Amino acid sequence: MPKKISEFVIEGCIKLSGWVVIFFVALIFLFLLKDALSLFGVHSLPDFLFGKSWLPISEPPKFGMVPLLLGSLYVTLGAIVICVPLGVCSAMFIAEVAPTHLKHVLKSLIEILAAIPSVVLGFIGIVWLGPFLRNTFGLSTGMCGLTGSLLLAFMALPTVISISEDALIGVPKAFKEAAYGLGATRWQALWRIVLPAASSGIIAAVMLGIGRVIGETMVVMMVTGNSPVMPRSLLQPLRTLTATIAGEMGETVAGSEHYFALFAVGLILFIITFIINFIADICLRKARK
Amino acid sequence: MKKLLVFTTVLLLIGAVGCKETVDPNEPVGFIQVKGSDTIVNASQEVAEEFMKDYPHVFVAVTGGGSGVGIASLINKTCDVATASREMKSKEIEVAIKHGVTPKEFTVAYDGVAVIVNEKNPVERLTIEELHRIFTGKAKNWKEFGGKDLGIVTISREVSSGTHMYFKEEVVQLGKKGSQEEFSNETLLLSSSQAIVEEVAGNEGAIGYLGMGYVSERTKALLVAKNGVAYPPNVDNVKQKKYPLSRGLYFYTNGEPNGVTKLFIDFALGPKGQERFRNTGFVPTGEHIAKKN
């Protein structure tokens, strides 16, 4: 009898923690929504969504989020282009090619990579990577989108590698053996059989990498220059959604228009990461089947 | 909750001083939160340390973030003293009163805003109008000002900075009320004076501005002219109001200060506090000859 009671209690606790998490997410969303929507009582929605200038302390202030959104998208896209091929190839190497002892070393090194604080990466970006890129590409300043993209790619690598590797390992052995049986080389089996079979897991890895990159704040705030321009290329300074919130939140008075505008930016960011995570979740589910 | 936190902090501090010491009941005890301008955060810190030597049972916490941050937290009632490198805007005072806060202003020192460029840049002096053209993006090459054929990279502090507001009003908008001019949107917005020094020191085409106290030997401060004669930013020129980019530095409290906050303000305005401002590169209030416009 006591065993049953304890089981009941434990089951209840687990169920409760699950519900609590869902409840918190809903609460955060509602909280963001409430303050974000307050903006549109005083500021027009189209001006916010399609406005091309972000001048929060001018008279009258302008809250056009297009430059910020584009800034975030540019940096994220740049980071993904750099990090996905690198990450997936590393995962392929670790999962299929590397000998066991090397595998262990690489895996722990990747864990260390994941543990580097973002502020340290930002510092490296300011003192070394920025000036290096400026001199290499002859830019006017090293504080540009590319510096941010490179550092963010570095940050997203561990996520992409470990999830892709899991997906690759999860491919049934029989697939590979069948390929070898038909006379495929190791490369052919890996490229044509294992990789496509693991594709939904890899897409999920990429999606989670994007989620990691788009939400990152410290690095982009330190190295991208934060100019609220409409970005034309990655080689110029830009301002992201996250850096805007972090840089300006401290000076806003609770309940002011600027305060609500930052919440609206936060809501946009929340929606973007929500969609990305949702897609990643669908892919992961597909991969498990 | 906050009171409890403050209380325990004070208790811990008293504990740290030594248990054998008993506090004289007439001795002032308390906690002062000072927040705001990054320009005077070092000076405020020194004043606070000096103050705590005189009043060992009062703990003063100094944090930066920018004048806007200080003023916002005064309005949100999360600090006792807001420091600012600009005056409060009428709109901010309005908001403050709506939140039940009546800001009281104290001018604690004067400061010059230095314009800095890379050491390799041959340009030595600029007028306010030229700075205006540079920072609004109308002038894009150093050639125009007798420098090398090199693109100009303008650098500014973040919008929360009082120096940003001051520079915007005096240079970008040339002191005209109701002007709609803005910093060129290609201007880099960096979050600290140190980051500005770092970028200017490494980038030949860069130009930035910061409080006089932050000028380092790795960059070159320009001479600035308003009506013909150019002056370098230094204590004497700010004192005599010759340097055109001079401004006051302020402490704000909620209403007339009382208790330990009053002690702190009096201390900052007194000889010992003013000495600390002088030592950190600012001009004490007593020595400022000309009155504010």
Digit-coded pLDDT (tens) for B182-216: 899 889 998 888 889 988 998 999 999 998 888 88
What's the CA angle centered on A236, arms A270 and A157, to 5 degrees? 50
Say which range, A24-28, A265-269, B173-177, has the weakest mean pLDDT.
B173-177
Q: Is A140 on the interface with B (CB under 8 A)?
A: yes
pTM of the entire predicted model: 0.82
pLDDT tens-digit profile of A207-220? 999 999 999 999 99
- Chain B residues in contact with A248 (beta carbon < 8 A): 158-160
Q: Please, which pLDDT band fits residue B8 given cuts at 50, 70 and 90?
A: low
Report the pLDDT averaged over residues B155-167.
89
Q: Which of A219, A208, A258 is nearest to A72 (CA)?
A: A219
- pLDDT of B3 reads 57
Q: Which of A160, A25, A153 is nearest to A95 (CA)?
A: A160
For the complex shown, is ipTM > 0.85? no
Averaged pLDDT of chain A: 90
Looking at the predicted structure, is the pLDDT value of residue B289 above 60?
A: no
Is B248 in a helix, a strand, or coil? strand
Q: Taking the CA of residue B176 as centre, how many other CA atoms within 13 Å lie in the half-sphere pointing to its CB?
A: 10
Q: Please, which pLDDT band fits residue B6 given cuts at 50, 70 and 90?
A: low
What's the CA angle centered on A245, arms A163 and A261, to 5 degrees? 125
Residue A256 distance to chain B (closest CA, Å): 8
Task: Work out the percent of chain A whose per-residue pLDDT is above 70.
Answer: 99
CB contact under 8 A, A225 and B205: no
pLDDT tens-digit profile of B35-86? 999 888 989 999 999 999 999 889 999 998 889 889 999 999 999 999 999 8
Residue the block writes with tokens 């020129």: B237
pLDDT tens-digit profile of B107-139? 999 999 999 999 999 999 999 999 999 999 999
The answer to whether the CB of A195 falls within 8 A of the CB of A171 is no
- pLDDT of B292 reads 38
Residues of B near A (CB-CB distance < 8 A)? Answer: 65-66, 68-69, 71-72, 75-76, 92, 95, 99, 151, 153, 158-160, 165, 178, 180, 182, 185-191, 195, 198-199, 202-203, 205-206
Q: Which of B135, B137, B140, B85 is nearest to B113 (CA)?
A: B85
pLDDT tens-digit profile of A98-149? 899 999 999 999 999 989 999 999 989 988 999 999 989 888 888 999 999 9
Instruction: Tell me the CA distances in angstroms from A229 to A131, A218, B147, one per residue in order.
Output: 21, 20, 26
